[in-house]
Amino acid sequence: MAGGIALMTFMLAQRHLPPGAFRAAIGQALWQLDGSALLEALRMAGRDIILLFMVMYLSICTTFLPLPSAPIVSLAATRGAGVAQSMWVMIVTVSALAAAGSTLANLNDYHIFTWMLRSERIARIRRTRACAWAQKWFARGPFATLFMFNVIQLPIDVSRMVSAVHGYPRRWFAVSNFLGRFVRYAVIAGVTLMLHDKDWVAPLVFLGLGFVIVFAKTTAMLYRRRCPAAQTASDDQIS
């Protein structure tokens, strides 16, 4: 983060833009939640600043600082941002850099959760039934689970916590996070370019898809639990 701020300051100096005035404009736009003002401030600084700001912002969107990620991706993917002339080049560029920033944030979460588990008091969670069930469910397909949790949008992403408890390798954790976020942000960028002012559609669809998947998984789990009990009762009646 410090390196990103230093690089941004250097790039602003190269464009003869005062960093103080730029930070003030960005801060005011964020405080007022004014997307058009934020885009205007970033556009004055140039395409590289827009992309760097997006990566820096997404790299701090962690479980402990749950900032919204979709708006900044939509902002970078607008025609006004001028990231690229070609739609496909813009989608790939924005999605890849956004996924890299989010992966950094998720790796920070992974390290923090791992560090927290060193505490014996917190590590007791491993011995709970809920944690045992979550680890068993996660172990069936850890890479696919992490990938899907990064594609869909859920208010609370428990996959990062479970992967830390499970001790899933960081390398594959990072790869699955990057690929999942790339797909999510590519859809958001594509919807932004095609629907313009309806860029809220993609995050809403992902959120709905997440709830559908969680509901389906929960229903299937409850059904599997009841089926053996029902079968046993039927067998007892026959005998």
Q: Any idea which of 47-51, 80-84, 228-232 has the lowest mean pLDDT?
A: 228-232
Q: What integer pLDDT is reported at residue 68 of this predicted model?
A: 81
pLDDT band at 233 (very low <50, low <70, confident <90, very high): very low
Q: What integer pLDDT is reported at residue 180 of this predicted model?
A: 93
Q: Which span out of 38-47, 79-88, 137-146, 210-219 was modeled with the highest average pLDDT? A: 137-146
Q: What integer pLDDT is reported at residue 239 of this predicted model?
A: 43
pLDDT band at 143 (very low <50, low <70, confident <90, very high): very high
DSSP tag of 156: S
The Cα 95–Cα 185 span in angstroms is 5
pLDDT band at 234 (very low <50, low <70, confident <90, very high): very low
Q: Which span out of 20-24, 45-49, 146-150 was modeled with the highest average pLDDT? A: 146-150
Backbone Cα Rg of the chain: 22
Which has the closest alpha carbon to 43: 17, 70, 7, 14?
A: 17
What is the torsion angle, in degrees rounded to the nearest 10, for the CA atoms of residue 15, residue 17, residue 20 and residue 23? Answer: -70
pLDDT in tens, 48-62: 778 888 898 899 888
More confident residue, 124 or 206: 124
More confident residue, 230 or 100: 100
Q: Any idea which of 72-86, 88-102, 142-156, 164-178 has the lowest mean pLDDT?
A: 72-86
The pLDDT of 150-167, averaged and rounded, is: 83
pLDDT in tens, 87-104: 899 999 999 999 999 999
pTM for this predicted structure: 0.74
The pLDDT of 172-179, averaged and rounded, is: 95
Q: What integer pLDDT is reported at residue 218 of this predicted model?
A: 66
Which has the closest alpha carbon to 95: 78, 67, 76?
A: 76
pLDDT in tens, 5-31: 444 444 444 454 555 665 666 666 655
Give yes or no for a contact between 163 and 149, defined as CB atoms under 8 angstroms apart: no
Average pLDDT over all residues of the chain: 76
Q: What integer pLDDT is reported at residue 137 of this predicted model?
A: 80
Give residue 212's identity as a one-letter amino acid code. V
